[in-house]
């Protein structure tokens, strides 16, 4: 994926093929305005490109990071708020888009009504949990809670069979952890231990607030933490999850049921609505063996306490404010945010998860047109042509593998802006006065939507992101790049105010080129042009790739982010390869433009300089120390600073453009530079 987080975004889009002059733009040049002239580009290009803006814009108390992504998000949250207010006041007919949006907003913003209800919306679910008396009723309760979005211990769902992309298959993945990643349970540094103790306190508080005696709640919180820690120990590390073959284990359903009899999986799937399952692709069988043991060995009172906590936590934002405050006070340890976001922003985030594409249908009518969609489709083709030329010129790859790579490249499907076909939300029930129930209904809707794919043809037109999302992705099973409208936004600037150099760096390199390169990174390269996990490389070519990829692993593993936290070069390898590939492809495509050939400066910056600054604009971000620690432990992406400085060290054109010489901090000897694509 392009970004380290998925956020709402907008579509005041920049132009891909327009070169403006200083006079045309009529406002300060964004690239020149963001510069930190006290930093040398040859020593720290991220600071040079973005440091001026970061110094003038401290991180707001409600944020964990602050930069261009958040600016886009906040600009478009206001647009979505307007859509919701208009829908709420329209009193539209039941079943219409406006009714669902307006009633969701109304119920969620009714803070007085929510306070008055207290925990009453959860009462029936507490009774279900209290009624658990054996492992069979435990697993049935887990399935019902998973159905409404109170995630428990299993992570299952329907998606394409990695080895047969025309088939929708049931998958089972490791899960069960509340904290973002296994290392949180296993690290022994003071920061990690503080987070663990605070997590235990959160469990205690929620259980006590729900009526459990304080001493019992504290005991059960310790038991829950011990249970999750035991499961964390069998979780595979992030880098190990990048091997698609090792994480593909197709089992006949009865064999999985026998392997983990205490999980009562046949009944679990039936409760979710999947009654006929022949095979299940299990990512990490050892997790299900360990969970089976824990279900059999852990006292039911501990399981009941865990489910009670997970239920409250899942809906904390829709319960009286005291619950949301408790959840925020814990999560700020992971993010560094000092204040909660205002209610309307929190509601829009929940609404995005509940029915974001429904919002998107109204959103694109107002903020994204067909002309902009066409503009970015053309830019995709310019990047694709650049990649084709690069593959043809490779010296380390055989002709036979090159031809297959070119076939795959040509087959990559592009989805730009918004879907051609929208999802059907007619079965989603939204009430006017029950926020918790609306969230439960939405979660159950998405479970049904997913389960109903089983046994049906793959819908290759489907989008997994909304148009307003500030993100993008490559899907190896569909061999497609998906580029929502929001990812191209430069806040505060119109199309005609942005020159090609900025566009080719900001959109062409960091987004389009990045996503296309994912089809050929350490993981994506293992899928063929139809999206099947299938080897199409010669053994020698595969070895050459691994040797070259090892360079980028070593480079990024040497970067210290904060304290003793270093980037995990293996876990971030795919994103690092995609960043480097995107920069090279964007540069190749940009050199064909009129702006590059004319070589006229804008705001004292040459076209070549503006290209690299345009790419860096995509990573304009200041971050809290807590956010950086969490990102280093959990994210497949390197922090923003290293997504600029790291790949630039491997780009010869960067050295020439900014006169980088031996002795400069950004300098890498030619023999150490990464040369893949």
DSSP result, 529-588 = TTS-B---S-HHHHHHHHHHHHHHHHHHHT-EEETTEE--TTTTHHHHHHHHHHHHHHHH
DSSP result, 298-346 = S-HHHHHHHHHHHHHHHTGGGS-HHHHHHHHHHHHHHH---SPPPHHHH
**For residue 26, what pLDDT band results from cuts at 50, 70 and 90?**
low
**For residue 564, what pLDDT band results from cuts at 50, 70 and 90?**
confident
Whether 610 is in a domain gets the answer yes
Whether 390 is in a domain gets the answer yes
Whether 129 is in a domain gets the answer yes
**Looking at the structure, do residues 544 and 667 belong to the same domain, yes or no?**
yes
Whether 587 is in a domain gets the answer yes
pLDDT at 19 over 70: no
**Looking at the structure, do residues 639 and 517 belong to the same domain, yes or no?**
yes
Phi-psi category of residue 342: left, alpha or beta, with phi > 0 → left and psi -120 to 50 → alpha? beta
CATH number of 581's domain: 3.40.390.10
> How much is the average pLDDT of 598-622?
97
| 250 phi/psi in degrees, rounded to 5 | -80, 125
pLDDT at 426 over 60: yes
Whether 395 is in a domain gets the answer yes
**Looking at the structure, do residues 613 and 494 belong to the same domain, yes or no?**
yes
**For residue 54, what pLDDT band results from cuts at 50, 70 and 90?**
very high
Whether 337 is in a domain gets the answer no
Closest by alpha carbon to 364, among 488, 511, 494, 485?
Answer: 485
> How much is the average pLDDT of 528-550?
97
Which percentage of the chain shows pLDDT scores above 90? 90
For the chain, how far is it from start to end, CA to CA, in angstroms? 18
Whether 380 is in a domain gets the answer yes
Q: Token pair for residue 77?
A: 């949250």
Residues 6+ apart with CB under 8 A from 302: 220, 223, 224, 227
**Looking at the structure, do residues 304 and 392 belong to the same domain, yes or no?**
no
CA distance 394 to 413: 24
Summarize the chain as % helix, strand, coil (round to 5): 60, 10, 35
CATH number of 237's domain: 1.10.1380.10
pLDDT, residue 21, reads: 39
Which domain-ending residue is among 318, 348, 383? 318
For residue 264, the Cα-to-chain-centroid distance in whole angstroms is 32
pLDDT at 160 over 90: yes
Angle of the 321-335 helix axis to the 190-209 helix axis, nearest 10 = 170
- Find the helix or strand (DSSP H, E) in which 164 lies: strand 164-173
| Residue 122 near residue 439 (C-beta atoms within 8 A) | no
pLDDT, residue 9, reads: 37
- Altogether, the residues listed in the chain come to a count of 677
**Looking at the structure, do residues 131 and 275 belong to the same domain, yes or no?**
yes
| Residue 291 near residue 260 (C-beta atoms within 8 A) | yes
Enclosing domain of residue 469: 27-58+368-423+462-672
Output Rg (C-alpha) for the chain, integer angstroms. Answer: 25
> How much is the average pLDDT of 483-494?
86
**Looking at the structure, do residues 534 and 476 belong to the same domain, yes or no?**
yes
DSSP state of 182: T
**Looking at the structure, do residues 224 and 148 belong to the same domain, yes or no?**
yes
pLDDT at 20 over 90: no
pLDDT at 24 over 70: no
Whether 182 is in a domain gets the answer yes
Q: Is 497 in a helix, a strand, or coil?
A: helix
pLDDT at 5 over 60: no
CA distance 329 to 342: 15
CA distance 277 to 271: 13
Instruction: Please give the tally of structural domains in the chain.
Output: 2
Question: Which residues, listed in sequence order, are joined to residue 484 by a DSSP beta bridge?
Answer: 417
Convert the pLDDT of each residue in 366-414 to its tens digit: 877 777 788 889 999 999 999 999 999 999 999 999 999 999 999 999 9
**Looking at the structure, do residues 128 and 226 belong to the same domain, yes or no?**
yes
> How much is the average pLDDT of 504-509?
96
pLDDT, residue 495, reads: 63
């Amino acid at each position: 994926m392009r970004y380290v987080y998925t956020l709402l975004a907008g579509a005041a889009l920049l132009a891909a093929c327009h070169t403006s002059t200083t006079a045309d733009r009529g406002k300060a040049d964004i690239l020149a305005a963001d510069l930190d002239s006290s930093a040398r580009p040859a020593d720290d290009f991220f600071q040079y490109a973005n440091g001026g803006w970061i110094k003038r814009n401290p991180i707001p108390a409600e944020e964990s990071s602050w930069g261009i992504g958040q600016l886009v998000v906040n600009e478009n949250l206001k647009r979505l708020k307007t859509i919701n207010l208009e829908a709420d006041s329209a009193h539209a007919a039941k079943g219409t888009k406006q009714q669902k949006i307006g009633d969701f907003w109304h119920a969620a913003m009714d803070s007085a009504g929510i306070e008055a209800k207290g925990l009453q919306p959860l009462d029936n679910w507490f009774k279900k949990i209290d009624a658990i008396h054996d492992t069979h009723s435990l697993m049935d309760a887990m399935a019902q809670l998973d159905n409404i979005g109170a995630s428990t211990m299993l992570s299952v769902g329907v998606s394409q069979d990695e080895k047969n992309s025309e088939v929708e298959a049931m998958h089972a993945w490791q899960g069960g952890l509340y904290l973002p990643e296994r290392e949180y349970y296993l690290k022994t540094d003071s920061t990690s231990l503080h987070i663990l103790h605070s997590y235990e306190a959160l469990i205690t508080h929620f259980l006590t607030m729900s009526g459990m005696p304080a001493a019992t709640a504290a005991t059960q919180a310790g038991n829950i933490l011990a249970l999750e820690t035991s499961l964390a120990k069998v979780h595979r590390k992030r880098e190990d999850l990048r091997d698609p073959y090792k994480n593909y284990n197709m089992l006949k359903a009865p064999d999985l049921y026998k392997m983990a009899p205490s999980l009562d999986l046949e009944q679990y799937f039936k409760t979710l609505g999947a009654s006929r399952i022949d095979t299940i692709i299990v990512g990490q069988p050892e997790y299900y063996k360990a969970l089976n043991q824990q279900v059999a060995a852990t006292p039911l009172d501990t399981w009941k306490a865990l489910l009670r906590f997970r239920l409250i936590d899942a809906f904390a934002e829709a319960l009286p404010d005291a619950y949301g405050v408790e959840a925020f006070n814990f999560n700020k340890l992971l993010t560094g945010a000092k204040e909660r976001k205002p209610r309307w922003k929190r509601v829009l985030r929940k609404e995005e998860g509940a029915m974001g594409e429904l919002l998107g249908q109204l959103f694109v009518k107002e903020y994204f047109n067909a002309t902009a969609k066409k503009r970015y489709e053309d830019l995709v083709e310019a990047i694709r042509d650049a990649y084709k030329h690069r593959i043809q010129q490779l010296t380390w790859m055989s002709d036979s593998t090159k031809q297959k790579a070119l076939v795959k490249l040509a087959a990559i499907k592009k989805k730009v802006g918004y879907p051609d076909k929208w999802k059907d939300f007619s079965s989603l029930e939204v009430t006017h006065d029950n926020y918790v129930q609306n969230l439960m209904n939405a979660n159950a809707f998405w479970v049904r939507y997913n389960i109903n794919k089983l046994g049906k043809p793959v819908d290759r037109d489907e989008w997994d992101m909304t148009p307003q999302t500030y993100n993008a992705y490559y899907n190896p099973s569909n061999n497609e790049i998906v580029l929502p409208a929001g990812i191209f936004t430069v806040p505060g600037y119109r199309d005609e105010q942005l020159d090609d150099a900025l566009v080719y760096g900001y959109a062409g390199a960091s987004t389009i080129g990045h996503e296309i390169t994912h089809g050929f990174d350490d993981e994506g390269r293992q899928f063929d042009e139809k999206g099947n996990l299938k080897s199409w490389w010669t053994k020698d070519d595969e070895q050459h790739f691994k040797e070259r990829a090892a360079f980028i692993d070593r480079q990024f593993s040497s970067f210290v982010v904060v304290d003793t936290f270093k980037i995990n070069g293996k876990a971030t390898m795919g994103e690092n390869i995609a960043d480097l590939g995107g920069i090279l492809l964007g540069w190749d495509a940009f050199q064909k433009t009129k702006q590059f050939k004319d070589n006229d400066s804008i705001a004292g910056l040459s076209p070549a300089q503006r290209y690299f600054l345009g790419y860096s604009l995509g990573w304009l971000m200041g971050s809290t120390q807590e956010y950086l620690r969490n990102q280093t432990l959990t994210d497949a992406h390197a922090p923003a600073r290293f997504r600029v400085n790291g790949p630039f060290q491997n780009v010869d054109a960067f050295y020439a453009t900014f006169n980088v010489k031996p002795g400069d901090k950004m300098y890498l000897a030619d023999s150490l530079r990464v040369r893949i694509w």
